[in-house]
Amino acid sequence: MSATLHNPKRLTREQAQGLLDRHGIAPTEQRLEIARLLFARHQHLSAEQILAQLSRQASRVSKATVYNTLKLFAETGLVREVIIDSTKRFYDSNPDPHHHLFHTDSGRLEDVAPAQVKISDLPGLSSAVEVLGVDVVIRVGPRRPQ
Ligand SMILES: [Zn+2]
C-alpha cells in the first residue's frame, strides 16, 4: 500500500472510500473512519485498540459500531480475522496469505511469510471438499529454565 508512504497514520478519505467500494461496502462516516485507521499500514489491531485510537482522535464511533463494522469488513474479505483464543481476536490489514507468530508474554502478533512454514501432510479429505486455506498461529513464550 503506497499510501502509507504519504501518511503513516491514516489513509485519506478517498483511499478508504476506494477500499470499501471494491468490497461492496456502503461508505458510512464511521466505516470510513475505521478503514482510514486500520488500513494505514499492515497491522493487527483488536476491536478495543481500534476503539481506543478512535476516541483519542475524538471520533464519535460507538463500541457497537466498531464491532459491527469489523464483522462486516471480515465477512466481505476486506480484513482478515485472526483468532488467538476466545478473548483475543485481531483484525489484520495485510490481505496477502500469511501465517502468524503470537508472543504470549507481550500479546504481540507478527506476520510469517508462507514460505517460512512447510506443511508436509494434511488429513485425508472427502472428494466433496477442497482446501481453501491453511492459517498457522505459532504461539511462543520465553524459554523456560531446563
Ligand atoms: Zn498478519
**Rounded distance from Cα 13 to ligand 1 centre (Å):** 24
Report CA 80 to chain centroid distance, whole Å. Answer: 5
Domain positions in the chain are 3-92, 99-140
Return the C-alpha cell found at 7. Answer: 501518511
**Rounded distance from Cα 55 to ligand 1 centre (Å):** 24
Cα dist from 68 to 17, 74, 86, 138, whole Å: 18, 10, 18, 28
Determine the pLDDT at residue 2: 44
The β-bridge relationship of strands 99-103 and 137-140 is parallel
**Rounded distance from Cα 127 to ligand 1 centre (Å):** 31
CATH of 3-92, one of 1.10.10.10, 1.10.3210.10, 2.60.40.3880, 3.40.50.970: 1.10.10.10
pLDDT digits (tens, 9 = 90+) for 4-47: 444 457 899 999 999 999 999 999 999 999 999 999 999 999 99
Tell me which amino acid residue 43 is.
Answer: Q
Instruction: Tell me the pLDDT of the chain averaged across its residues.
Output: 90
